[in-house]
Structure 1
């Protein structure tokens, strides 16, 4: 009798707790979140509350802690002060009103103006990129800033690290940032840290998860930026991580899987913008304040040999949890809406939110030729299925989907609008570290470079032509042949894409 009463009591308590969690969740979860994100979290909490609630408490907030938020605001204010007398874009440059409006949007959200950037090459050969970055490090005379999401010491990257060591030996100051969670799963992680320390390189983990040092936050808020800055005169920005193209995984090596990436080499005032972003990230992790040069001083570093055709008007657009307005998403949407004739999207992970999906399909409906370049098979199971769940709507709207052949992973990230300069259209583009997915919009610190004018757009279009020749086009008829099981799995994985 006593056992029966106790059992009924615990069942009643369990039922009360269950309904209390659900009632609170319904009124709390939707606050400040997109409807899709709210629905996904509520589904998890209502169906499996004792699992969904802990996950929500651990990963439900896209906001960084108070200290990081305060520092980010200080950095934003400092950038604003440095640029106080700087116009939105270089004086003497004529700018189309539509492009001017995008520049003004980015300036309002990030405080970064559009400046001159000299294009020294768009590097696409994976090992060649690392060799060129190594050469730039060997030429450094004063300081080197490295900020890359994934770093690993292997046979491919060893020359780069050895060049950093040589730089330290000749008196060049090296500062290095890499992401904690992004790097720890790759071979040699512990040895990498010891080797960097032994060479005298000053390094810090970005967004470290170290609860024993009272450094813990939502584990999937990551710093995904990729930059190399040499003496404030030369900069590299793009999608490449400092790791072998196989990412050192046995499965990848066995199947021949390699990553395909891009880095842009720049000089001029844009490098000063890159320094400002690095200085902010360095300060967050080290509490050390770095001197920031202004763009007038950086302009003096443009080489006399630079051709007019190399001169680009570019604007750096940082984004991440420290920016509550999602600057990269707003910029991407603006470019999509700007397109009149042709729009090219290239992203390894294309998982759009509602606004970007509607913008892309609307572009098709108004007669824009939209090309989407993705990997035939993504490197992540859940992402691969979540991404392909959008193909039906895209194909029905008229999007031309080109699939880069497996086992390669097309990791390049860029967007260009109207590169063919048809009558009435104005070219515009963006390249950087940001994927076209909800993670990059709200959870990752990203760095993107808007190209408002210049030969970088032409170079991106040449790369597009190469990707197109290499890829296979996915048609609606072919996609409709997929199995019922594939459709079901895609739709299930789609629910996870909105969990922010």
Structure 2
């Protein structure tokens, strides 16, 4: 029997509105206001496609099997470092009163304390950073732990793989984690290079759609190196040639860390390895005792992501900006802020803080380019100095506050890093470090274009419209 077209039309109409009303009830739960607004807009414009997309990537939570493993993490890490607990407690840092709030917030989110006795070196030179990493691997005696979002089998990644093979040939245990999405183009090449060697490689969150299904959009975006429990590397740089795309040459910044903070980097790696393999890495060599005392710098490691439900990295960014008294500088390749962070930047500038946002003139994502530019006018009007870096793709990710606090890591200033990606950040409570970070920021500014209100507001009206449309969906990027 044929169903009248009028009945079909009303049924379709009723189904769409049922979906919209259900979305109003369901979507805001466990989601930031910005992300909720983006999803609700999509549901009201295209209800049925929104349902399909929502079931695929709509919740910033890992599947149940993964959450079950996360619950076991505290025990896994405690067992691994049980003999080092006393040594770590001796390095707990006492910070000045004006820094303790930030440290407490970071500890509440990542469960890791601030530790003294560290040395931190910044390396802004792309090839030099890789050569120094290889030199550290060539001196390894017990273990090398690497985790990278993008690990290529090109001349950069290949040179590191060769160093790992050399290390295993002399009896060093080498473990490598690479993200299934970020390194998808290079996985087969890496597996071919490592075939027949003793390097242990695992894929982070490989794509599955049935047993132990995974989410394609929840990724491990960290860049971590731990060597013999004594040397750590953290920052923005992946292991891929600088010109990762034709005409797009990356500018990066990484930090080489020695001292007790490396133990915290080690715990993060142990946790990530367990989540992928269920293998509990253990042994006294993981945490040298006594912990090496390499300097006077106080540092704090901050892991964040869907596995850390008590807070997000943007909470720390926002709190640090609100606490600034003289100067704030954010360097990020992708700027898609939430309202809280945007307000923090505007109010910092309005209360007289020298406030800088440094982004790249060109990135590898056109839609993000459009969306982030929609935020510039409001920032400029509030007095934020917005600078577009010209020579290369500025992929570095760091934040400096006054001359007291510097933060460097893998996290972008966007909703993906805030809600979806596993990230790692190093907070450094040091005047010397922060001044060095500011020196690097000044180098960026020397080759950047400062946006002024009149010139920016004079850009074509059509361009402004397209940017504002991109902004509407920016929480979903």
Task: Give TM-score, length-normalised by structure 2.
Answer: 0.94
Of the structure 1 ranges 312-321 and 18-27, higher mean CA displacement relative to structure 2 is found in 18-27
Aligned residue in 2 for 1:130: 130
- 1:302-330: CA deviations, max 9, x gaps? 3xxx5xxx421000000000112333112
| Residue equivalent to 1:268 | 259
The reply on whether 1:416 has 2:407 as its aligned counterpart is no
Distance 1:87 1:359 in 2: 34
Cα deviation, 1:67-123, whole Å, max 9, x if unaligned, reads: 2223223324555785976888945x5522121121122222222011135335211
Displacement after TM superposition at 1:339 (Å):
0.6
Secondary structure of the residue aligned to 2:155 is coil
Q: Distance in 2 between matches of 1:349 and 1:293?
A: 40
Provide the C-alpha distance between the structure 1 equivalents of 2:364 and 2:202, rounded to a whole number of angstroms. Answer: 28
C-alpha deviation, 1:292, in angstroms: 6.8
Would the aligned equivalents of 2:176 and 2:200 in 1 still touch at CA under 8 Å? yes
The corresponding residue for 1:50 is 48
Gaps of 5+ in 2: none
| Displacement of 1:359 | 0.8
Aligned counterpart, 2:220 = 223
TM-score for both structures, normalised by structure 1: 0.89
Alignment pair present for 1:476 and 2:453:
yes
The alignment status of 1:449 with 2:434, answered yes or no, reads no
SS in structure 2 of the partner of residue 318 of structure 1: strand
Of 234, 254, 263 in structure 1, the residue corresponding to residue 231 of structure 2 is 234
* Residues 484/88 of structure 1: CA separation in 2 closer, same or farther (3 Å cut): farther
Alignment correspondent of 2:291: 300
Is the alpha carbon distance of 1:300 and 1:494 closer, same or farther for their aligned partners in structure 2, counting shifts above 3 Å?
Answer: same
Over 3 Å counting, the alpha-carbon distance change for 1:39 and 1:135 in structure 2 is same
1:333-412 correspondence to structure 2 within 5 Å = 333-405=318-390, 408-412=392-396
User: How far, CA to CA, are the matches of 1:56 and 1:12 in structure 2?
Assistant: 24
Q: Could you tell me how far apart the structure 2 residues matched to 1:390 and 1:8 are? A: 45
Q: Cα distance, 1:173 vs. partner?
A: 0.6
Contact 2:304 2:423 in 1 (8 A): yes
Corresponding residue of 2:205: 207
Partner of 1:462: 439
Deviations 1:335-389 (A, max 9, x none): 1011101111111111111111111111111110001110012220111111111
Please say if residues 276 and 292 of structure 1, whose CA atoms lie closer than 8 Å, have aligned partners that are also in contact: no
Does residue 31 (structure 1) correspond to residue 29 (structure 2)? The answer is: yes
Sort the Cα spacing of 1:496 and 1:77 in 2 relative to 1 into closer, same or farther, 3 A: farther
Write the distance in 2 (CA, Å) between the matches of 1:340 and 1:88. Answer: 31
Distance 2:447 2:398 in 1: 17
CA distance in 1, matches of 2:470, 2:242: 27
